[in-house]
Chains A and B, each alone.
Chain A
Amino acid sequence: MSAPPLVAQGLGKRFRRRDWALRDLMLTIPKGGIVGLAGPNAAGKSTLLSLAAGLLAPSEGSIEVFGRNPLQAPEVLAEVGYVAQGAPLYRSFRVADTLEYARRTNPRWDTEIAIELLTHIDSRAKVGALSAGERARLALALALGKRPRLVLLDEPFASLDPLAGRELLQLLMDGVAELGATVIVASHVVADIQRVCDHIVLLSSGCVRLEGDVEELLDSHRLLTGPRRPLGSIRGVREIVRERYSGRQQTLLAITDGPIADPSWTVDPVSLEELLLAYMAPERLPTPRRAEGIPLRWHG
């Protein structure tokens, strides 16, 4: 029971002769909370979730869900609520049939949880006739009705308007709070997840670029604005992630390890979106190294 929800070790996945979708991934998702899996399109987010759901086999390395390989020990999937991108379901089934399917195939199934998420959806409606928002809700209800210990959501908001997205997010939050499950939400739109994530994993080109607790990440990063000048070492700055110039001004996104004493710098907090975009940019990647005492890991 003490095994973490998800552990990837040297995980790599390659499709046929194409490039690596994931390469040499080291990742441990701690128990509890909501993990945002961010990254641009084709970063390997869906591949990672498919591997965790036992739909794919790793090309190299290993992935474990609660200490078990989801392909070798598929019974672990009874504890995983996975919603694939686009929420594929049987279109000819009625909503009630779909719930019945889940009830018959999941030992821990709880219809009450699912029904709660399906208010205002007619159980006799055909799945094919539901709106995108309703279908996403049904898929979420199916995932949470399993009383999972790990929930994997692949771009759940992709086809939803902002209102429906917000509603779905609220349902997710409520459901998860009740279950005490760990949730991994993959999304390429940072705004979707930044409101709710406790922990963030940024994937880009099949590698983890940044991983850490959201608050700690925001605490340790600052935006420094000041007149343009050659950069020496700045007291309180451990590493500069990104430099940007506009006219005579320059803006630095920096990892700080103390207060910035120099009064010529204006110091501002950074938003999660800005932070993630800075780390996504391939041209300004920090040199891979691990800092002592800072709960933040880079894999460049």
Chain B
Amino acid sequence: MAWVTWRQHRAHAFGALGLLVALAVAAVLTHLPIASAFGHDSLSACLPSAPRTGCDIIVPHFESEFSGLVTATRVMAVLPLLAGLFVGAPLIARELEFGTYRFAWTQGVSRRHWLLSKTALLAVGTLVAAGAASLLVMWWRSPFDQLEGRIGPSGFDIEGIVVPAYALFALALGVLAGLVFRRTVAAMTATLVAFGATRALVADFVRPHFVAPLHRVIAAPSTSAVPGDWVLSNTLVNAGGQRVTAGNEELAVLHAQQAGIDPHTYILTLGWKRIVSYQPAGRFWTFQLFEAGLFVALAVALILVTLWLVRRTPV
């Protein structure tokens, strides 16, 4: 079956390789000015562990200079989906659409063996390709990761071991969708929707609770958290610990302005504080492990369901 899988999917392998090469070239070219700016500005002295005076000027300048590129790298979040759309979804759907399953499933290899071999080999290829893409992104983003951290979604989603895990999940999702919907286009659509929904749900509702978030109380007027942390919520509370609504905060500021007092000082005298709930930067790899484990488990469950269904599928 290894030969069969290679013969049927070598175009995918070449496509993935081509995409990776193109990404690598783009990464190297765009990284050159970043690396030189990072070196010249001696930004390393401004890393969160050793903040110095003047860093508040250098760092924002550096960040704003390359913010467009950093935003562009967020596109990498859709990369794992490609495995589901172009490899997973057509795997069974194409055979059903073109009738070739009548050939493939009547040879001396059982349907289950056929599906398991193909899925396993394609999974290995997917993991390798996604892993390479992830390494590339990690290398490219490392200056920004050192300044801004990477546990926040903009870094977390496209770095580390979650990228191959997402790709594996997308692949498994595509294969199952192909079996259920029997049409490549329908299977691709279903894969797209289900992948997007699952990723969003996990990122918004599950990931923040992998480990109980930490809290930090800071003086009310300052809003800046320690760079590198993933801030989940930032609430203004009064001296009694009750939440201050945005309306009340506005009223207080207005009141201070009318009285001719500095609003910051006024809020301080009121005893208002900010409670910041956050996940510290140091939990990056723990969170990566949790999230990757979750998606690998989902992928394995999907593959098991597909293996169970494929034998029962009337065609």
Contacts and interface: CB of A to CB of B under 8 A. Distances in A.
Interface of A: 15, 50, 53-57, 71, 74-75, 77-78, 80, 82, 84, 86, 88-91, 93, 97, 100-102, 104-109, 142, 146
B98 interface: yes
16 contacts: A55-B106, A56-B314, A57-B314, A71-B311, A74-B110, A78-B108, A84-B103, A86-B99, A88-B98, A88-B99, A88-B100, A91-B98, A100-B7, A104-B3, A105-B4, A106-B107
A78 B8 CA distance: 21
Contacts of A97: 7
A59 to B, nearest CB: 9
A109 B110 CA distance: 16
Contacts of A104: 1, 3-4
Contacts of A90: 8, 100, 103
Contact of A74 (B1, B4, B8, B111): B111
For the complex of A and B, the 5 pairs showing the least CB-CB separation, nearest first, are A78-B108, A88-B99, A74-B110, A84-B102, A106-B108
A123 to B, nearest CB: 15
Contact of B107 (A71, A77, A84): A77
A61 to B, nearest CB: 15
B259 interface: no
A177 to B, nearest CB: 23
A97 B7 CA distance: 8
Contacts, number: 72
Contacts of B111: 74
A55 B108 contact: no
Nearest to B111: A74
Interface string B88-120: 000000000011111101111111100000000
Nearest to A139: B103
Interface in B261-315: 311-312, 314-315
Interface of A is mostly: loop
A106 B106 CA distance: 10
B: interface residue count bin: 20 to 34
A55 B312 CA distance: 10
B7 A108 contact: no
A88 B1 CA distance: 19
Given A57-B314, A100-B3, A104-B1, A82 B106 contact: yes
Nearest to A81: B106
A30 B37 CA distance: 83
A108 B108 contact: yes
Contacts of B106: 53-55, 77, 80, 82, 84
A80 B109 CA distance: 12
Contacts of B7: 93, 97, 100-101
Nearest to A72: B311
Contacts of B100: 88-90
A102 B111 CA distance: 15
Nearest to A58: B314
B102 A82 contact: yes
Contacts of B3: 100-101, 104
Contacts of B99: 84, 86, 88
A113 to B, nearest CB: 15
Q: Which of B100, B107, B311 has the most CB of A within 10 A?
A: B107
Nearest to B105: A55
A50 B103 CA distance: 11
Nearest to B94: A90
Interface in B106-158: 106-112
Contact of B108 (A15, A57, A71, A146): A146
